[in-house]
Amino acid sequence: MSEPSFSSARRQSLFAKYRHFLATPFFFGFSAHVLSPTSFPRRLIGSRFDLPLTDALWFGSHAGITMYLYTSKHLQSTNPFERLLYSIYGSTMFNFGIGLSISGGLLCIGQRYIHYIDEIFDAIRFRTIK
């Protein structure tokens, strides 16, 4: 028996709901590594992989958060260049908050902020302001 395929709309809905989980491991890994570089055992990864690991975590963190901001509702009406510019700016500002506790707080507050802006955008767009 073959499995039913997901429709394109279903895939987009799942991606929109879980896209922030793509950036989270990179973000926490990068912030933990910068805060305490010895948190990644050098015996397991070796010292020659330390810099590539740091770069990969840093890049993944920036790419994931940029993608999250780029696909947010509040930037949908801007042109693609400005969306990308604002997303990269937001990712850079967000990723400079290094440290595991600071990163966790910024991640939660940042997500709440984006949801707040998206709700305002929906209220203005559909004229449902109370």
Q: In the chain, where are the structural domains located?
A: 8-125
Residue pLDDT, tens place only, 46-70: 667 777 877 888 888 888 888 888 8
Query: Which pTM value belongs to this model?
Result: 0.60
CB atoms within 10 A of CB 25: 13
Whose tokens are 């305002």? That residue is 120
pLDDT recorded at residue 6: 60
pLDDT lower than 70: segments of the chain:
1-6, 11-12, 14-17, 19-20, 39-47, 97-101, 127-130
Q: How far apart are CA 128 and CA 121, in angstroms?
A: 10
pLDDT recorded at residue 106: 79
pLDDT recorded at residue 71: 85
